[in-house]
Every structure is written in C-alpha cells, then in structure tokens.
Structure 1
C-alpha cells in the first residue's frame, strides 16, 4: 500500500538528498532546477510529490510542474520541453501499486485544477513495467525519442582514446589555433553567450529559453557555463547541468564564423574531462531529432551510445487541448520575438 502526497516543508529542505538516493536522478529533478523555472516562468508552478509506504518511508518521488500559458489552458508535465523527468524510484517497490497511487494523485490534481492534460517523460532507464502500468491507468504512449549517453566509468584516458580520431584531431586543432576554454560565472560573458544563442535560435526558427533562466542557472550549484575564446573574444559556449552521477549537455551555441577553429569540440572535451575529474559517471549529449543523421554521427564519434526514452500523456479536457493547439504557434512566435529584445 502506498500513498502519494505533496512533500512537506522538511522534505523540501532535504529534497536533493532524497533524490540523490535514486541512481538515475539528475539536475532536472533538483530543487534548484524547479526554482530556476519558477523564477523565469511566472506561468510555471512546481509541484513536489512523494510516495510513502505503510511505514512512512519515502520509496519514490515525482517532481513536476503545472504550466498555464494563457487563461483556461493548464497542463501538468514532469519536466518541460519533453526532457526526461518522470518518476524516481528510490527503493524496491510494487510497481503496479506505486504507479496506481501516483496516477490517482495526479488525476486528482488535474480535476482540481481543470488541466487539459498530463505529460510524463520517463528517464532513459525506464522499466517497461512502469510504462505498462501508466498505460493501464489511462496514459497513451505519445512518442519514443532517443538521446546519446557517454559512460565515464573507465576514466578520462580511456574515454579520450575511445574518441573517433576526427574528434581528437578537432580538439588538438582548437588547442593549436589558440582557442582557450574556461568556466565563467560573469554576467558579461553570459550576455555575449546569450546574444549568440538568440541568433542561432533565430536561424533555426526555434523558441529560445529566456535570459533570466540561463543566468539563474549559470550561478547555481547545478550548472556551469563553459566558453571558448579566440584572441580574447568568446566564439562558443555551453551551459551544462550536473547532479549526482549525471552531466547533461544542455544549452550550447557558437559563432558560425569561427567553426573551423573547432571551439565546440574543445568545450565538450573540457566538460567530459571535468566530469571524470569530479566523479560523474555519465554525460548525456541530449535528444536528437529523428532523421538528423549528421548530429547522431557527431555524438557517436565521442563514444556516446544511443538510448531511448518515452513520453506518455493523458488528456483530461479535449476542448482545452484543441484550443491550445490553435493558439500555441502564435504564442511561441510572439514569445520568441520578445526574448530577442530583452537584452
């Protein structure tokens, strides 16, 4: 028998300690990540759910968000942008009873808040039993996506030698041509990085993350900004997340005029080496669009292996979902333009 409730104030204080007991927890599950999104998106409300057994022990947790972009439209998601979130299992459990308890609670939240839908993206090491139990509780498998994960267990020297020779050559070229890689918490460096990032997102026709979010994370304990410089000028950067055993390459950009200097390769190699030196075991290169064979090949040249993850959803209000489907494209375009004029 399990009961799912909102975390108490005492449990929130110890939240990161609690989730660290789950071997696949990462920065996306931390208290700092949820605070960062709450700070940057006033329309996001973080929720922290705990699942306890008959003895009052926490056996599982599920951090999530209620998102309200416009009036009448609200949804619940484990992590925005279909990043892996889902449910974290801390100790041995009865999966069927556990998922039933969680689903009862989030359905209750959906009814109380008149949500249009619930979306849960499971971590890469999901158990098919978990998927099947969510489906038996009314969820639908929305899509399967894949990421690439690099195992660091054997240390940096092994990882370096396992790189494709083109990767090692690119890293050496960056060094020989004078590219310098460094970490920074300086806001002036974030401003330069963000201007490059906004331009890249404009070229791709994608919606950028807000400056406030990236700056908040830059000086937080779960993220670091690494930049590549040439002759004192920043030509590329990557904001990565780190927690427990896990490093995530999350937000990167570069000046297209300097790609021949291989600054991105230099930055990724720096982060991998930093991860090995600081006891991290996995580097997640992030999801790739299906069909982007060039990006997949680039990640696999580092030795990263493809791993799949699932997104599940459950509709609670069909008419609200249809309304959001009509409104969302226009709202995204307006939001993207606003971000470009923030600095």
Structure 2
C-alpha cells in the first residue's frame, strides 16, 4: 500500500503552488511565503531544506514546512547543527486528517535532523496566523502533542479594529507624548520606494548595529525584502526624515489582515527626536486605512531590566496586550551517541 503523502522540496514544488497553499491555509502566515525562504537563505550558515507534503491520491498540497539547517561552527559529527522552522508546519485540514499530516511532517523533520547532523529541532509558530488569533485558537501549545518540549513566550499585539481614535487613546501617554514631540521638532514620515531608499535603509541598519555591537544582516537579505515583499505589498517600509536627512526607518510585514514589526533601524539623532514613535504611529494609521486588524509590535519581556526593559516598554506603549507565542524544542535521538563516537575517533586518530 502506497503512502498517502509524498515529500516534495520547496523549489521543486515552485513558488506559485507553494504560495497558493499559504494564501488559502489558515495555519500559514507571512513566514510561510516562498519569498521568505529566499530571504532567509541570505543569512550566513543557513541552508534551506523546506518541503511540502503532497497528497498522492489527488495531487493536492497537504502541508508546507519552512525549514532551515543552522550550521554550527563545530564538527558536524557532534550534532551541534540546529533545524529551525520559523512558522512551523502549516496544515490545511482538521481532526484526524490534520493529525496524520502533522505526524508525517514531523517524521520528515526528524529524518532531516539525522541527515544534517542536527542535535535539536526548534519550531516557532506565528501568532498572527488566522488559526492562532481567532476565538477558536488553541489554548495550549499545539507542538506539545507532537513531542516537543514546551518553550512558550509572549508578544505585544495591538487590536486595530476600533479605528484611529480608539488606537490613539489606547496608547500609553508616553507614546502619545513622543509622537507629538517628534512632530513638533519637524520629523516627517514617508513610505519607502525604490533602490535609493534601500541604500538609505541599509545605511541606517549598519549605523544601528555598529552602535549596539551586533553583527549586521547581509545587504542581500534586505534586497530580497525590497524585491519580493515591498514590491508585492507583503511589507511596508516607512522612513522618518528631519531637515532632509533620514533618521529612522521601520519595516512592517503585512499579510492576511495582520501586521508585524519586522525590522527597524534608527540613527542616534533619530532617537533624540523620538522618530521611531512617530513612524510606529504613522504605520498604524496606514494599517487601519488598509483594513489591518491586528498589529504585533514584537516579543515581550515582562519583568526585564536594562536594555530589554526599554525595548519591552517601547513595544507595549502602543496599546498592545500580551498574546502567547507557541514554541517548541526537540532534542534528536542519538546526539550524545554521535558526540561520543566522534570524540572517540578523535582520540584514537
């Protein structure tokens, strides 16, 4: 008897079929779009092993699974690589059928972990996917039933359904004050457009990461965002300017009636001018005009101190409430055995 589902790579399936499934599936969000696979492939030490499950009975796509090998700097034989799925399996089925498809997907994930020397699998679901933001959303982490260790987090989400006046009143006083201050100081906000604005954004990105001490993302990553997301209306980038100079820019993912604060960069002068707050507010106004209902401002860190506290408070100040983020981690079988064998080989060599 043949298997009901066959495995097909993301490239083999193709962008059109992959995205058609993502558009129709309530479990899929922006992270499941084929374009993101290309963008994330630009990050160092990442290899795309994304795949789909196709029903052998009628040829329809049953699930898409964005998946990357994050390659460790250590010996592969030690099992220090990681399989990472941003979005997790998106399955367009319910009940027993959904369970069967999900199990088949995770069986393939575990097989790929073995092939690529991955000692762990990390899966993060998107809280903006329709099935996780509606009244019938799961009350517990769906990954637990698949054998993953529960590693939940939380994020700030703003409800935009009440309109602009309600959104403004829902913001904390400090956020409204920051917006007014930026406006009074002459900061203006405009949408980003072509290649020239990509240059502006990346210059701000390099300045921001130099200030914080973090390693910047490759320019090719943002080129993908400009070419594949901005042009298709899957994201919106806003640039704040002061006296003719760009001082802040923020990128928002847009999909299925929801938005996400995706990336941002700000010059030191922009921080002094409260430019990021004005960009956030103007972006929210634009979202509401486009019919966006939910806006995820980013992961929350309640009780944090130092820089994380400042980041958390900024995200919270725009009127967000805490929503769950479902994550799971699974240690693959045999990691310690592989490490022991590799160490033995090294000692006997």
Smaller-chain TM-score range?
0.7 to 0.9
Matched, 1:91 2:99: no
Which of 207, 210, 223 is the aligned partner of 1:202? 210
2:317 maps to: 301
Per-residue CA deviation, residues 249-272 of structure 1 (Å, 9 max, x unaligned), is 111121223423221111111211
Relative to structure 1, is the Cα distance of residues 231 and 322 closer, same or farther in structure 2, using a 3 angstrom cutoff?
A: farther
Contact 1:182 1:228 in 2 (8 A): yes
Please report how far the alpha carbon of residue 52 of structure 1 lies from its aligned counterpart in structure 2 after TM superposition. 4.3
Counterpart Cα distance in 1 of 2:338 and 2:278: 44
Contact 1:34 1:46 in 2 (8 A): no
Matched, 1:14 2:17: yes
Please report how far the alpha carbon of residue 51 of structure 1 lies from its aligned counterpart in structure 2 after TM superposition. 6.1
Please report how far the alpha carbon of residue 181 of structure 1 lies from its aligned counterpart in structure 2 after TM superposition. 0.5
2:265 maps to: 253
Per-residue CA deviation, residues 200-220 of structure 1 (Å, 9 max, x unaligned), is 323333332222111220232
Please report how far the alpha carbon of residue 171 of structure 1 lies from its aligned counterpart in structure 2 after TM superposition. 2.0
Counterpart Cα distance in 1 of 2:113 and 2:159: 38
Matched, 1:285 2:283: no
1:239 maps to: 251
Number of matched pairs: 314
Report the TM-score when normalising by structure 1. Answer: 0.79
Contact 1:148 1:300 in 2 (8 A): yes
Which of 90, 113, 116 is the aligned partner of 2:116? 113
> What's the RMSD between the two structures over aligned residues?
3.0
Contact 1:147 1:308 in 2 (8 A): yes
1:65 maps to: 68
Summarize the alignment of residues 75-154 of structure 1 with structure 2, pairs less than 5 Å apart. Answer: 75-79=82-86, 85-94=87-96, 96-124=99-127, 125=132, 127=138, 128=140, 130-135=142-147, 139-141=148-150, 143-154=151-162
Counterpart Cα distance in 1 of 2:145 and 2:6: 16
Please report how far the alpha carbon of residue 229 of structure 1 lies from its aligned counterpart in structure 2 after TM superposition. 0.2
Per-residue CA deviation, residues 136-192 of structure 1 (Å, 9 max, x unaligned), is xxx323x32221111222333332232223323322332232211111233333333
* Bigger CA radius of gyration: 2
Counterpart Cα distance in 1 of 2:293 and 2:27: 11
Q: Any gaps of 5 or more consecutive residues in structure 2? A: 341-349
Please report how far the alpha carbon of residue 33 of structure 1 lies from its aligned counterpart in structure 2 after TM superposition. 0.9
Q: Any gaps of 5 or more consecutive residues in structure 1? A: 80-84, 324-343
Matched, 1:158 2:166: yes
2:5 maps to: 3
Counterpart Cα distance in 1 of 2:283 and 2:83: 33
User: Which deviates the most, 225-234 or 9-18?
Assistant: 9-18
Contact 2:39 2:224 in 1 (8 A): yes
SS of 1:295 mapped into structure 2: helix
Counterpart Cα distance in 2 of 1:129 and 1:272: 29
SS of 1:14 mapped into structure 2: helix
Contact 1:48 1:63 in 2 (8 A): yes
1:178 maps to: 186
Matched, 1:268 2:280: yes
Counterpart Cα distance in 1 of 2:44 and 2:337: 21
Report the TM-score when normalising by structure 2. Answer: 0.78
Counterpart Cα distance in 2 of 1:40 and 1:99: 28
Per-residue CA deviation, residues 225-266 of structure 1 (Å, 9 max, x unaligned), is 211000110011112222222211111121223423221111
